[in-house]
Chains A and B, each alone.
Chain A
Amino acid sequence: MIKPGEVKVMKKKLNAVKIAEFVGMCILAFIFIMPFFWTVITSLKAPNEILTWPPTFFPEKPIFKNYTDVIKKINIFRMFGNSIYIALVTTVGQVFFCSLAGYAFAKLDFRGRELLFKIYLSTMMVPGMILLIPRYVIMRELGWVDKHVSVILPFIFGNAFGVFLMRQFYMTLPGQLKEAAIIDGASQPQIFIRVYMPLTKAIVSTLFVFSFMGSWNDFLWPLITLQSAKLKTLPIGLASFQSLYGVQYNLLMAGAVLSVLPVMLAFLLAQKQFIEGIALSGVKG
C-alpha cells in the first residue's frame, strides 16, 4: 500500500511529466497551426506580396479584396447553400444508419455477421477511381444524373467507414445492458434507441464531424454527376481558381479559408461532446 509520503513524491514527478507534456503539445500545436496561419495570412496579402524573400508574416496592409474577389467571381452563395444542404442531409442519414448497422455488427448475433463485416471492410480497399464509371452508369439508369440525389442518396444510408467506426465503439460497451433490458421486456429497437444510443454521444459527434467533412469536401463525384450551374458545390467552384498553367494563390487561399469555416464550426460544436466522453464510467468494464 502507498504511504502518504510516497504520494507526494509521485505528485511532484507527475508535475514534471505534465510540464513536459505541455511543452511537447505546444511545439506540436505550433507545427499544426503554422500552415493554417500561413493560409490565412496569404489570403490577406496583395498578389505582389505573396512570393517574397524573406517571407512577411504579417501583411503590410491586410486586404480583404481576395475575399470579395472570390465572392464576386463565383456564385459562392448558391454553391455554399448547395454544399450545406447536401452535407447536412447526408450527414444526418449517415450518422443514424451507421449507428444502427454498427450496433448490429457489434452487439447482435445474426448469421453471417463476421463474413458480412469482412465484405464491408473490403469495400474500402478497392481504389475508388475504377468504380466511377459503373457508378455513373447506375446513376444514369436511375435517372439521377445532374440531380442532387446523385450526391445524396448513394451516401445517406451510411458507408463502410462509419459502420466500422460505430461497430468498434459499440464493442467497448458492455453487453449486460442489453441482457438487463431484455429481461425488462424491451424489444430490440427499443434497446438500441433507449439503452445504447444515448451512450454514444462522443463517437456520434465524431462521426458527425467526419461525415460532414467528407460530404463537404467531396470533389470528384459531384464534379462528374452535377452539370447545371445551379446545382454545383463549393469545392467545384473553388477548384476553378487553379488553372492548368498557374495558381492564383491569394484567391485559392481565401477560398480555402471560406470553405473551412463551416467544418470548423461543426467541429467546435461537437467538441463539447468529445470532452464529455460517455458519462457512465461506472457501467463499463
Chain B
Amino acid sequence: MRKKLTAGICSMAMLMTTIGTVTVIAGESAEDKKNMSGEITFSFWGIPEEVAVQEAITEEFNKEYPNIKVNLDHVSGAADFNTTILTRISGGTAPDVFYMGEVMVPIYADKGVVEDLLPYAEQDSLDLSDYWDGVLSPAGYHDGHLWAFAKDCTPYMIYYNKDMFDEAGVAYPDSSWDFEKFKETCIAMTQTDDNGKVTRYGIAPENGWPAWFNIAYKNGGKILDEEGKRMVVDPNTAEALQFYFDLANVEHCATNPDDMTSMGGGEIDAFKSGLASMVIGGRFMTYFLKDFDGNYGFTTFPIEKSEVAPLNFVALGMAKDSNNKEAAWEFIKFYCGKTGQEINSATGMGMPVMKSVTESGVWMLEGETQEQLDVILKQFNNTKDHPFHPEWMKLMDDIFARNMTEAARGKTTALEALENAAEEANAYLEEVGR
C-alpha cells in the first residue's frame, strides 16, 4: 500500500517537472530498462520439451535485456511442485518468478506470498485489453489486482476419434450439440461383444473438477454464490452432473470412474488404446496425442443452457520477497508478451493468453484448420471463472471432489452429494471465519 502511494507521488512529481518532455523521458526510461541488470531465479515444472521452450524464451529475453541473468530452475514434473515451492517460500528462499496452477493464484494472493503485478503493468502502460478476460479475472483484475500473469491457457474440450466415427457412420460432433445429442452420440459409439461386455465406450469422461465445473456451467449451473463466499446447492449443477454420471452408471456408454484411477492419464490411455472413442481434455491433449496413430478432432462441451466456458491456465507469479522485482517484472512482461507467447504455445501444451496472438493462429499446429480455431475462439470470447477461492484445496480438492466422486461412482445422487458437499464446505468456512 505504502509502496503504491510512494510510487504514485513519485510519478506525479515527475510528471509535473517534465511536462513537455514526457516523450523523451519515456524513451529514456525504456532504454534504461533494457540496460537493467540483475539476476533472477525462475522455477517451473514441465516435461523436457517445456524446458526447451523456457530456454528459447530466455534467450530471446536476453537479446533485449542482456544484463538480466535468468536462472532456470526446472523443478521436475508437476506432481511435487507445490510442495517444493512452498517449502522454499517457507524457508525464506522463494524463487523470484514461479509457475502457479490457476487454483493457486487466489491462495498465494491470500497468504501474501505474491506481488501484485497490476501497478507494474500500469506503470508500463501495458495494454491489458489485449489479454483474455478469462485469465485476468481469476487473478483479481476486476478487484484492482493482478496477482499472477497467465502464461498459457486452455478451455476444456471433447476430443473424438474420427476413424471410429467414420467406421460407425456417426456424424462428427460439433459445437451445436446439446446434452441429449451428446448422450446419443456416446450411446451410438458404444460397442458390445456377444456376451454383452462393452468393448468400446462412447467416452472416457474425466472425473475431476475441470470437467465437472464445465458441464455444470453448460447447464447454467454455479458452484459458489454470487459473492463467491459460500457453496450453493444449485439444481442446474446437480442436474448436469447427474446427467454426466449417468453416462457411465445408467447408460453404460462411458468408462467406469473407478477404473480410471489415475489422474487424467487413465482416460487418455483409454482413448489412445481404442477403449473409448471420445475423451475430455484441454489443449495439452494435442501434445499427448502426438503419437496417436489415428485421426482426431475436437469440439466444445455439449451446450444445454449456456455457452460459457471456464479457462484453465498456468500463471507466472512474482514472490513478494524477491530482491529484484523490477527485473522479475520485465521477465514476466516479456514472457506474456507477443514474442514470449508465440514461442510458448508452440509445444501444443497450451494456448496464448494474448488476444492478438490467439486470433492470429500462429500457434496452431500443422494441419489444424480455421474451423478448429473458431471452435476455440468461440470459447475464449465467452468465459466464466472457475469457482476460485483462497480455501480452494479444502473446498474443491477435498470436500467437493470427495463427495462428488461418490455420485460419479453411482453410490449416491449428484444432488445428495452436492448437498453434503455444501453443508461440509460451508461449515468449514464458518469455522475458519471466511
Contacts and interface: CB of A to CB of B under 8 A. Distances in A.
Q: Is A–B contact present in the complex under a CB 8 A cutoff?
A: yes
Interface of A: 47-48, 51-53, 73-74, 132-133, 136-137, 139-140, 145, 219-220, 223-224, 227-229, 232, 236-237, 239-248
B261 interface: no
Contacts of A224: 83-84, 87-88
Given A223-B80, A227-B43, A244-B263, A136 B91 contact: yes
A246 B270 CA distance: 11
Contacts of B71: 227-228
Given A73-B49, A223-B80, A227-B71, A246 B91 contact: no
B286 to A, nearest CB: 11
A240 B288 contact: no
Interface of B: 41, 43, 45-49, 51, 71-80, 83-84, 87-88, 90-93, 95, 262-265, 268-269, 272-273, 281-282, 284-285, 288, 291-293
Nearest to A249: B269
A229 B264 contact: no
Contact of B77 (A48, A220, A243): A243
A244 B104 CA distance: 15
Given A53-B273, A133-B87, A244 B92 contact: no
A241 B293 contact: no
Given A133-B90, A223-B76, A247-B265, A73 B288 contact: no
Contacts of A52: 273
Contacts of B88: 136, 224
A245 B269 CA distance: 11
23 contacts: A47-B291, A51-B273, A52-B273, A136-B87, A139-B91, A140-B91, A220-B83, A223-B76, A224-B88, A227-B73, A227-B95, A228-B73, A229-B74, A239-B79, A240-B46, A240-B51, A240-B77, A241-B77, A243-B47, A245-B264, A245-B285, A245-B288, A246-B264
A78 to B, nearest CB: 13
Nearest to B349: A243
A243 B75 contact: no
A137 B293 CA distance: 50
A240 B76 contact: yes
B91 A240 contact: no
A246 B73 contact: no
B291 A48 contact: yes
A245 B210 CA distance: 12
A237 B140 CA distance: 35
A52 B41 CA distance: 44
A243 B46 contact: yes
Contacts of B51: 240
Contact of A140 (B41, B77, B92, B281): B92
B281 to A, nearest CB: 7
Given A224-B84, A224-B88, A240-B47, 8 more contacts: A48-B293, A132-B83, A137-B92, A223-B76, A242-B79, A245-B284, A245-B285, A246-B288
B75 A223 contact: yes
Given A51-B273, A136-B90, A223-B84, A245 B268 contact: yes
A243 B78 contact: yes
Nearest to B285: A245
Contacts of A246: 264-265, 268-269, 284, 288
Contact of A133 (B43, B49, B91): B91
Nearest to A53: B273
Contact of B48 (A51, A53, A140, A241): A241
Contacts of B291: 47-48
A227 B41 contact: yes
Nearest to A145: B93
Contacts of B73: 227-229
Contact of B76 (A53, A133, A140, A239): A239
A248 B92 CA distance: 35
Contacts of B45: 240
Given A224-B84, A224-B88, A227-B71, A241 B93 contact: no
Contacts of A220: 80, 83-84
Nearest to B263: A244
A240 B47 CA distance: 5
Contacts of B84: 220, 223-224
Interface centre among A48, A51, A237, A243 (most CB of B within 10 A): A243
B48 A73 contact: yes
B72 A236 contact: no
A131 to B, nearest CB: 11
B198 to A, nearest CB: 13
